[in-house]
A and B are shown apart, each in its own frame.
Chain A
Amino acid sequence: DVKVTQSSRYLVKRTGEKVFLECVQDMDHENMFWYRQDPGLGLRLIYFSYDVKMKEKGDIPEGYSVSREKKERFSLILESASTNQTSMYLCASSRDRGFAEAFFGQGTRLTVV
């Protein structure tokens, strides 16, 4: 019954590395989102995509990029990882832009050392 799958639960990377976080959904949703979640700050939107090859910046896009070559896959890229990007990363997809029928992945806890 898997709906949104993130490629890793836990990742440890070194400062300066290029990091790829992958997200795949099997519901044919057009809208996909990447969030980061930090204690005391809640969920913050990094990037979203409403169609293949389309992307829009969220609230905190600095230091990140995304790729959506296929409808079911949305990748988050940390171009040069830094320690302040240590966080929980959550991918989500939804049927429409109102976040209806939204499903989240299980999260990736990234530690940058």
Chain B
Amino acid sequence: KNEVEQSPQNLTAQEGEFITINCSYSVGISALHWLQQHPGGGIVSLFMLSSGKKKHGRLIATINIQEKHSSLHITASHPRDSAVYICAVRDISGGGADGLTFGKGTHLIIQP
């Protein structure tokens, strides 16, 4: 089973700063997900990627398959970006319907 490490665990930044959250995993994957969880519990899927880079608004996700590493970037950060960001990977072997392994999350706080 994959081991997923996220860094940093906690991050506090000022509004407008460029934010980077990292995710590393131990074995080959077929896909990687970035999720966002706001206070109160609801989780939103931000990206699913298997190679390269994806962009949605101020969010950018990249993945390097050879290095087993992904980053989530937030440009021009805003207090509403404050949330827990979770990385999840699907092993190449797939497993059952949900061969996902989740990271423990990065708690981001953007101060005005």
- Is A43 located at the chain interface by the 8 A CB criterion? yes
Which chain A residue lies CB-closest to B31?
A98
Chain B residues with CB under 8 Å of A103's CB are: 45
A42 touches B45 (CB 8 A): no
Chain B residues with CB under 8 Å of A104's CB are: 35, 42-45
B42 touches A106 (CB 8 A): yes
A107 touches B42 (CB 8 A): yes
Q: Is the interface of B mostly helix, strand, loop or mixed?
A: strand
B30 touches A98 (CB 8 A): yes
CA distance A106 to B90 in the complex (A): 23
Chain B residues with CB under 8 Å of A102's CB are: 33, 45, 48
A45 touches B100 (CB 8 A): yes
CA distance A109 to B45 in the complex (A): 20
What total count of A-B pairs have CB within 8 Å? 67
- Looking at A49, A58, A98, the one whose CB has the most chain B CB atoms below 10 A away is A98
- Is B67 located at the chain interface by the 8 A CB criterion? no
Task: Report which of A90, A97, A107 forms a contact with B97, defined as CB distance below 8 A.
Answer: A97
Given contacts A40-B104, A99-B48, A102-B33, contact A31 B97 (CB under 8 A): yes
- Is B57 located at the chain interface by the 8 A CB criterion? no
- Is B40 located at the chain interface by the 8 A CB criterion? yes
Task: Report which of A42, A44, A56 forms a contact with B103, defined as CB distance below 8 A.
Answer: A42
Convert B58-99 into 0s and 1s, putting 1 for each residue whose CB lies closer than 8 angstroms to a CB of A: 000000000000000000000000000010101000101110
A97-B97, A99-B88 given. 11 additional CB < 8 A pairs?
A: A31-B97, A42-B103, A43-B88, A48-B96, A50-B97, A92-B43, A99-B31, A102-B48, A103-B45, A104-B35, A107-B42
7 contacts across the A-B interface (CB closer than 8 A): A56-B96, A58-B98, A90-B41, A90-B43, A98-B90, A105-B42, A109-B41
B interface, CB within 8 angstroms of A: 30-31, 33, 35, 40-45, 48, 86, 88, 90, 94, 96-98, 100, 102-105
